[in-house]
Structure 1
């Protein structure tokens, strides 16, 4: 019986470096801020609050990761979150719809937005960033129209109480993030669908010629991430006990940044859920550390922007080195 061929060492080295670099950065930042804040950074209460506040970002970053791996992009994240949250809040407050049904409708709205973006991308061959840019304007505009540009408030205090009630030591939103991350990881790494995503990102034409229904996979990807956007909007609504039609403005850039910092390539074909969560943790650590040290929030955004450039540059350097190693091995 023939042995399974070993993967090329240069490929293993690239994956190792894509994992170790962001993890090293995260540990370095934690130690730096722990020292500068005299132990406050890693206190249990601070870590719990940081994780709680960043649960919506983690959910949308998990959702956008497979899309980036497939060499696509989505700019409608925050707008879809707002539309789902505002719709759920209005249905519950003004129409007397049971909260469970209103919550489900928020997720369904996100899914529908994702399907529309995916169909526009695949049927018209329009770049995904253009299709989702249109969806961003549509969803945000619709959220503003149905809410009359007003915050959707009401008797939502029970939501905040529920979201703050620990379950086996963790708040419900954190369990939601962990469960979603596990499902997404298994889907990407251990299913035919996951392998198709990586194949499409590496070479869409080759994937299609190999029998993969690329259009169907892409539409499904956008649908799944859209559902997660709706879920993230719902979490935001429950955490704040209100929904603003302007909520989550710019969160799409944070989600993309988290994926890139965590090792995903905007060129497609590589990335992981674990790496994205490390990217979210890096961004959350930066922002929280700056806040604890009374550094203006603008500076944390500057640092994140620099990290994005460094992340993309690092990915290009790794790809160049890996390709050179592959050519060298082929020539031997």
Structure 2
């Protein structure tokens, strides 16, 4: 018997809605999804404005849900479970998705389930054309998180290492801002880096030889600031491109070396890369090359599912229900968790 799950994502600056159907055997199937990004709205401010983000989610979520239902050819009454991002994220933005999901659940008499945003990213490669198999090492790299985890199954996660300050995505974004690039900074820096020499500047690789699996990118940002100040007055476009390329190379090297160290420490031969930074072409190329030399399989989400989206939320809910870890409920009183460590989730035995 299949279950139809509607997923709503509203943790930051993307409104995502999707429909996923569970299958008796195998990974749940994505029927339809839609996404609205607020990048253009926040660009004038150089970053996400929480109040504007929340208001835009209110405007977008219902039309997106209607669009997804129409695209999948499903009636509203056919939904069995409504999933939403409970955290982490911006409190006001999370409340929009949670409120809509719980109100819809109450109106339809359907159960709801709050989903951890990072678990959504972690499991998103299961919707790809080349889904992984358990167990694997996961590299979660996004604007706010950089973590290495051992994953033995749904709800069976062991934290191996994480950033002690800035996340990799923050390092991209903050460095881009120092170089005078637009928002969002990470993709802009990656585009500029294509025209630069990644050996032009000797930038630090923090904690590269620390002996553990933790990350640190704050020192790299400071080094980029020091170099960027030298451009003041007479910035040279080639110098900016070289610094962008050198910055990207430093971040990528740290992510690759730490991932390889995690694979060696666990003895596993499968790596999953998830989160927005996982779309970076230089990172994918470096990981693919390094893992191929070691006989390691690498799995990524489809490019359009690397950033925040409703498909990963519906999928995570469906897989948790399938695994018997957590049942959806009809208690429509809700809360959100702007700060919510992944190890605080109800886990599998």
Common fold by TM > 0.5: no
TM-score (norm 1): 0.28
Using the size of structure 2 for normalisation, the TM-score is: 0.27
From the two aligned structures, give the one with the greater strand fraction.
Answer: 2
